[in-house]
Amino acid sequence: MPQYQQQASWRLEGGGQVIDLETAVKDGILGGGESGGGLPAGKDGSFGASAEKLDLKKMIEELDSAAEEDVPSVFICPISLEPMVDPVTLCTGQTYERVHILKWFSLGHLTCPTTMQELWDDAVTPNQTLHQLIHAWFSQRYLRLKKRSEDVQGRTAELVKTLRKVKGQARVQALKDLQKILAAHPAVKKTVADSGGVALLSSLLGPFTSHAVGSEVIAILVNLSLDSDAKANLMQPAKISLMVDMLNEGTIDTKINCTRFIEMLMEEKSFRSEVVTRLSLLVALLRLVKDKRHPNGIVAGLSLLKAICFHEQVRSLIVSIGAVPQLVELLPNLTAECLELALHILDDLSTIAGGCSALKDCAQTIPNAVRLLMRVSEACTQYALSILWAVCKLAPDECAPLAVEAGLAAKLLLVIQSGYNPELKQRAAELLKLCSLNYTTTLFISKCKLTRTIQ
Amino acid sequence: MISMLYFVVESMGSFCSRQQPLNEVDSDENKQAAKIDSRIAEETKAEQHIHKLLLLGAGESGKSTIFKQIRLLFQTGFDEAELRSYTSVIHANVYQTIKILYDGAKELAENEPNSLKYVVRADNKEIGEKLSEIGSRMDSPCLTKEIAKEIVTLWNDTAIQETYSHGNILQVPDCAQYFMENLERFSEVNYIPTKEDVLHARVRTTGVVEIQFSPVGESRKSGEVYRLYDVGGQRNERRKWIHLFEGVTSVIFCAAISEYDQMLFEDDTKNRMMETKELFEWVLKQSCFEKSSFMLFLNKFDIFEKKVHRVPLNVCEWFKDYQPMGSGKQEVEHAYEFVKKKFEELYFQNSKPDCVDRAFKIYRTTALDQKLVKKTFKLVDETLRRRNLIEAGLL
């Protein structure tokens, strides 16, 4: 077959051609645009150097993931339902992706898949026109996408520059715009970091920052990835004070942002527990955790409280604000995820004297904890057991009977019989022994049997 | 028939304690009553929209300065007549200040170990005695150029300077330096005090003063209406009148954090910070403020900044567990955070559980700095407006 040369007459400028591709692309349903670029067909009639095909393939892929516009149906191969990279036409006039139609033939079919006609000629003709149209269409959109993403980056850099200059309402608006762009195009995080955005945002937080500005800044910062220096800078007392204030006063979204942000800061190596040793923070978290209207807030709040509880020095402060009874009373209404967090916190608090006695003094501790054994997960059972152990050890005469009345014995037997880890089972056994001390054997067994039948 | 009815109606009336008026008179009086009622309703409604702010704090905590600042910021400020009225106050302040310094120097010279540094130069002694006498009078004379010169001479005496730097055990006012530096201006014949002068002037507030204002926002839309009350700060029968302020929107409690090493005016054995601590506790416990937000102004930050390096916080019993950490600006921030935490602790310890939803915010202020006060008040305004929206369920 003769080499297929791209003639100037086939090219896109100039009129008087049978097909003026440029105009077709511009005026047709395919939208305006780029010239398709000429490509000489290969020896076997297939299109272009493989480099050209790869380009088209790449563009198709990227545009597919951007998923913005529907590909015109005439570009789609009826067999694979994908845009055609190498369209070939059969004698029936139908066009398919070369690879797929050849496969069809190799399976022994000599029909046109869509019209079901028997083929009188098995030749496949490369449909150059269609190929050029497809290429033009994809190139145009690909270039547009690239430009837009550059645009977005440009816009982001502009916004950061604006933020350096403006104040007041203009500042709040610029921050809102920046947040919108970041939400729509996560890739610009890098641009923000590169243009000194992080340091700028950080500097906007201080003792005289208004709530409006502060809440927007935190909403942005919480979604950026910050390096150690940035985080260390953000741990300054004045900035933390602002975050705590916003935790107290903001909308639920602001509260959750601040909570997550502080938790993020806590993961830093340079973090010192004094940063979170603040009554106002702990009180605000407790309020967040008790707010039944916003389950997201409960999870975020418990998560941060758990991280804070990890630091032993802060535990007594947490107990002093009455966290123990409030958390215990929350337990029945929590989801599984929250239960694990809450029980973990209470378990940590039980390790200090104040926490343990607060647990003992709260009437709901024992019933709630017993109820949660073997109910939710191994971790929950472990924490609940640990709490019960601490409380019963503190005041066995008072607590053991209460626990037994609540059905502890049967639950403990379940734990011992379970497939949970041996340490846990050992603990359960010990607790069972502790609780049985005040009863005669028969009475105790009856307690077990009774509660089991109740269950 | 009708006349009989008339009679019946009339006599019915006389059975009641009040004579039932006839139709026309009836409707007139009713109209009047209705008018008054609606007027009362209108004014009550208007009152409800006015946010009442109460300035509380120990003596010399800066309440009145804040009060003056608000006047300057959101009202028409001081007119010339009012400015002039401060001239005699400022002159009196000058005499009082130099008297305190001179008397103080004498006292220190008698009681302190290295007394020599407090001994005033021989040729200044006569001036000192004269000024001390003037300062003790109820009505001080006008400040003339001659007297001003004498005061400057005395002020420059090393003994007086030495006394000033140890001013904490005496009752030297914080603005002593300002007065001494501006003597020449004060002694001008046609001296009219500037706004700055008025802010520094010290008068003991007696009774209650109030102003009503509307902070104009950036967009120039009409903002909320506030009414600010300032009451005297010295120890007096607070408990008798405090309940008159029940239901104020917000209590602005001023605490001068630079005072941790100073004694009370009324009782020089009592540390001022301890007095502030007790007062704050007392205010928190008052049931009349159960619903009010608390704005704590930690005032005189500028003096605090400088003092922290010279005088350790631990000299105050309340702060005895303070551990200095570094130096320079970091130390100042650290010390400030410590004081803040102490006040926070105090707040939560003295707030009943059902007051937990009260807004409580701490602001650092320097009452003499108008820009800072404006910024601080903007934040207070924002907080109170958000509170409103939250309470109305809109946020």
Nearest-CB residue to B386 (from A207, A208, A249): A249
Q: What is the pLDDT of residue A6?
A: 43
The torsion of the CA quartet A258, A264, A268, A272, rounded to 10 degrees, works out to: 40
Structure tokens that stand for B278 in this block: 């007790």
Q: What is the pLDDT of residue A40?
A: 40
Minimal-distance CA residue of chain B relative to A167: B218
Q: Is B239 in the same domain as B129?
A: no
The single residue listed with the structure tokens 């500005």 is A213
For residue B297, what pLDDT band results from cuts at 50, 70 and 90? very high
| Contact (CB<8Å) B382/A211 | yes
Q: Say what angle helices A279-289 and A237-249 make with each other, to 10 degrees.
A: 30
Q: Is B188 in the same domain as B336?
A: no
Domain of residue B289 covers 55-78+204-388
Q: Is B61 in the same domain as B156?
A: no
Q: What is the pLDDT of residue A66?
A: 64
Nearest-CB residue to B348 (from A168, A287, A321): A321
Last residue of a domain, one of A106, A126, A146: A126
Q: Is B161 in the same domain as B212?
A: no
Residues 266-285 of B with CB under 8 A from A: none
CB–CB of A37/A12 below 8 Å? no
Cα-based angle B284, B290, B295 (whole degrees, multiple of 5): 60
Q: Is B72 in the same domain as B118?
A: no
- In the predicted model, is pLDDT for residue B23 greater than 70? no
Handedness of CA A199, A200, A202, A207 (dihedral sign): positive
In a domain, A428, yes or no: yes
**Catalytic: B185?**
no
In a domain, B173, yes or no: yes
For residue B27, what pLDDT band results from cuts at 50, 70 and 90? confident
Q: Is B245 in the same domain as B365?
A: yes
Distance CA A296, CA A251 (A): 12
Q: Is B158 in the same domain as B219?
A: no
Q: Is B255 in the same domain as B346?
A: yes
All residues of chain B having their beta carbon less than 8 Å from the beta carbon of residue A322 are 353
CATH of the domain at A86: 3.30.40.10
What digits encode the pLDDT tens for the residues B111-148? 777 777 777 777 777 777 777 777 777 777 777 888 88
Residue A397 has a CB neighbour count (10 Å cut-off) of 9
Q: What is the DSSP letter of A247?
A: H
Q: What is the pLDDT of residue A38?
A: 39
Distances (CA, A) of B379 to A321, B327, B339: 27, 30, 21
Nearest-CB residue to A237 (from B333, B375, B379): B333
All residues of chain A having their beta carbon less than 8 Å from the beta carbon of residue B215 are none
CATH of the domain at B219: 3.40.50.300
- In the predicted model, is pLDDT for residue B9 greater than 70? no
B299 annotated as belonging to a binding site for a ligand: yes
Distance CA B102, CA B128 (A): 6
Structural domain count of chain A: 2
**Catalytic: B323?**
no
Q: What is the CA radius of gyration of chain A?
A: 35
Distance CA A339, CA A295 (A): 12
Q: Is B241 in the same domain as B384?
A: yes
**Catalytic: B261?**
no
| Contact (CB<8Å) A238/B333 | yes
Q: What is the pLDDT of residue A34?
A: 40
In a domain, A405, yes or no: yes
Domain of residue A415 covers 358-454
Last residue of a domain, one of A126, A159, A175: A126
Q: What is the pLDDT of residue A304?
A: 92
Distance CA A165, CA B207 (A): 47
Q: What share of chain B has pLDDT > 90, as a percent?
A: 4
Please enumerate in sequence order all residues whose Cβ is within 8 A of that of A299, keeping only pairs 6 or more positions apart, or say none.
A335, A337, A338, A341
Q: What is the pLDDT of residue A29?
A: 45
**Catalytic: B212?**
no
Residues lower than pLDDT 70 in chain A: 1-54, 65-68, 438-455
What digits encode the pLDDT tens for the residues B306-362? 888 888 888 888 888 888 877 777 888 888 988 998 998 899 888 877 776 788 889
Q: Is B208 in the same domain as B329?
A: yes
CB–CB of B229/B55 below 8 Å? yes
All residues of chain A having their beta carbon less than 8 Å from the beta carbon of residue B379 are 208, 210-211
Distance CA A79, CA A82 (A): 8
What digits encode the pLDDT tens for the residues B85-100? 888 888 888 888 888 8
CATH of the domain at B154: 1.10.400.10
Chain A interface includes B345 (CB < 8 A)? yes
Q: What is the CA radius of gyration of chain B?
A: 28
Q: What is the pLDDT of residue B235?
A: 56
β-pairing, B250-256 vs A87-89, is: unpaired
In a domain, B32, yes or no: no
Average pLDDT, chain B: 79
Structure tokens that stand for B363 in this block: 């602001």
Q: What is the DSSP letter of A223?
A: T
In a domain, A395, yes or no: yes
Q: What is the pLDDT of residue B22?
A: 53
In a domain, B330, yes or no: yes
For residue B217, what pLDDT band results from cuts at 50, 70 and 90? low
Q: What is the pLDDT of residue B194?
A: 86
Chain A interface includes B378 (CB < 8 A)? yes
Please enumerate in sequence order all residues whose Cβ is within 8 A of that of A112, keeping only pairs 6 or more positions apart, or say none.
A90, A92, A94, A119
Q: Is B125 in the same domain as B188?
A: yes
Structural domain count of chain B: 2
Cα-based angle A90, A95, A100 (whole degrees, multiple of 5): 90
Which 3-state string (H, E, C) describes chain B? CHHHHHHHHHHHHHHCCCCCCCHHHHHHHHHHHHHHHHHHHHHHHHHHCEEEEEEEECCCCCHHHHHHHHHHHHCCCCCHHHHHHCHHHHHHHHHHHHHHHHHHHHHHHHHCCCHHHHCCCHHHHHHHHHHHHHHCCCCCCCCCHHHHHHHHHHHHCHHHHHHHHCHHHCCCCCCHHHHHHCHHHHCCCCCCCCHHHHHHCCCCCCCEEEEEECCCCCCCCCCCEEEEEEECCCCCCHHHHHHHHCCCCEEEEEEEHHHHHCECCCCCCCEHHHHHHHHHHHHHHCHHHCCCEEEEEEECHHHHHHHHHHCCHHHCHHHCCCCCCCCHHHHHHHHHHHHHHHHHHHHHHCCCHHHCCCCEEEEECCCCCHHHHHHHHHHHHHHHHHHHHHHCCCC
Q: Is B369 in the same domain as B242?
A: yes
Interface of chain A toward chain B, CB-CB under 8 angstroms: 168-169, 207-208, 210-212, 236-238, 241, 245, 248-249, 251, 277-280, 283, 287, 321-322
**Whole-model pTM over 0.80:** no
Q: What is the pLDDT of residue B222?
A: 54
In a domain, A412, yes or no: yes
Residue of B250, B301, B337, B338 to mutate, testing the A interface (most A Cβ within 10 Å of its Cβ): B337
B64 annotated as belonging to a binding site for a ligand: yes
Nearest-CB residue to B382 (from A169, A210, A321): A210
| Contact (CB<8Å) B333/A287 | no
Structure tokens that stand for A188 in this block: 């610009």
The closest alpha carbon to A215, from A247, A193, A177, A237, belongs to: A247
